[in-house]
Amino acid sequence: MTLPLDAAVPDEFADLIAANRRYAESHDLSGFDGIAHAGVAIVTCMDSRIDPLRMVGLERGDAKIIRNPGGRVTELAMEALVLGVHLLAVRRILVVPHTHAVQSRRRPSPRFVQRSRRRAAWTRRGRSSTSSTTSAVRSPTTCNA
């Protein structure tokens, strides 16, 4: 949703809207096609200290970034990855969990664990819904931000 330039902005958002307007004036990727040009998708934590592109030597436009608490491959993350593979030229998937995330310090409820195991059952049976040319890897070194 785009706010008209003369739209009333609540005070608590005024600084963010003003910064966004300045950013939009100098944005240099307006014609970007949306394809992951390096063929990479990165699942990582939503912690703003993590810079996933710089962490692996990529630039804007090279990868699709999926963020969530702890950098977990959830059902929603999996959906985004499948779309990335089939529509956005993703051929490599890097999972970078966040070792000090609040999410990883809490024990999930038994109900959550049971539902997660059912949803991820295809991974234990060796099936894949992605192309055979797509590879995935969990980062050997996690992000300790």
Structure confidence by residue, pLDDT tens digits, 9-54: 788 999 999 999 998 888 887 778 989 999 999 999 999 999 999 9
Q: Give 40-82 as a DSSP string.
A: EEEEEE--TT--HHHHTT--TTSEEEEEEGGG---HHHHHHHH
Q: Note the pLDDT tens digit of each residue in 43-60.
A: 999 999 999 999 999 999
Q: Which residues contact 96 (CB under 8 A, 6 or more apart)?
A: 42, 43, 44, 45, 50, 52, 55, 71, 139, 142, 143
Mean pLDDT of the chain: 79
Domain boundaries, the chain: 40-138
Q: Give pLDDT, residue 97.
A: 87
Query: What's the pLDDT band for 131 if we cut at 50, 70, 90?
Result: very low
pLDDT(136) > 70 = no
pTM over the 0.75 mark = no
Quote the tokens at residue 110: 């038994």
- Side-chain half-sphere of 92: how many Cα atoms within 13 Å? 12
Superfamily of 40-138 according to CATH: Carbonic anhydrase (3.40.1050.10)
